[in-house]
Amino acid sequence: MAPPHDDKAAADFAEDSTHKRPISNILFIIAMQTEALPLVNKFQLAEEPDSVFPKGVPWVRYSGKYKHLHINIVCPGKDATLGVDCVGTVSASLLAYASVQALQPDLIINAGTAGGFKAKGASIGDVFLASDVAFHDRRIPIPVFDLFGVGSRKTLSTPNLAKELNLKVGKLSTGDSLDMCPQDEAAILANDATVKDMEGAAIAYVAHLLNVPVIFLKAVTDVVDGDKPTAEEFLQNLNAVAIALDLAATKVVDFINGKSCSEL
């Protein structure tokens, strides 16, 4: 293909060529170490002690080579005082920002567990690809600020990936609470979401800021519109669903190997 002759076309060309270059460097962002460790083992990644992150942060990075891919898996790690995983949008966005700056990935995959809505077709153990993300707990009732709060955006389009691996596709809604108050529920309904997590839309925001494509793999641990309390159902299913997530993520990586973003 001959190089284009004007700046606009040159910019399009550069963007296209990025999307058409085979993906070589994948960054997984995973909020809980229980969710991450099966994948770390599967890809035979090693924990990197000489961190690319600043001193004092609890963030953990595993890296290595799998097939033709460099893979990094980063987790926000355990809170130094409380010892629990640093879940939620603040930690996830910081980790996404610092990881993209340090590792310059071609593609981000945010993998993790989620609540699912049975009214929208979700069941325990389903793994969803998110077509869209938005926030459901950032209510700013001032014109235009309201849209900023919701922060709705499309993810990287991956029709071949969804079809080949037979993954369900649905919209993802993000908030910092594990439970769901009536205002959250109304916003999730407005977001037309099938799955609900605590990090996705924040990672999408950072990926958009830094111009990195991102996809979301969300495995359903609990049915939000079901009979059981979310926290109980989440803890009960976490380990089993982490295995389903691990299987799906491995298939996704095998599918990505050798392909460009535009082929997904």
Total residues contacting a second copy by CB under 8 A comes to 46
Nearest to 74 by CA among 91, 66, 83: 91
Site string for a second copy, 118-157 (x = CB under 8 A): -----------------x-xxxxxx-xx-xxx--------
Q: At 187, list the tokens.
A: 């916003």
Per CB under 8 A, which of residues 43..62 are in contact with a second copy?
Answer: 54, 56-57
Provide φ and ψ at 208, rounded to 5°. -65, -45
Distance (Å, whole) CA 149 – CA 140? 6
Q: Which region among 97-105, 109-117, 124-132, 157-165 touches a second copy (by CB under 8 A)?
A: 97-105
| Cα angle 98-133-18, degrees, rounded to a multiple of 5 | 55
Rounded to a whole number, what is the distance in angstroms from the first to the last CA of the chain?
22
Based on CB atoms, which residue is closest to a second copy, 69 or 100? 100
Provide φ and ψ at 174, rounded to 5°. -120, 140
Using rule CB under 8 A, residue 231 touches a second copy: yes
- Is 7 annotated as catalytic? no
Per CB under 8 A, residues contacting a second copy are 54, 56-57, 79, 82-84, 86-90, 93-94, 97-98, 101, 135, 137-142, 144-145, 147-149, 175-179, 181-183, 202, 205-206, 209-211, 231, 234-235
Active-site annotation, residues: 35, 222
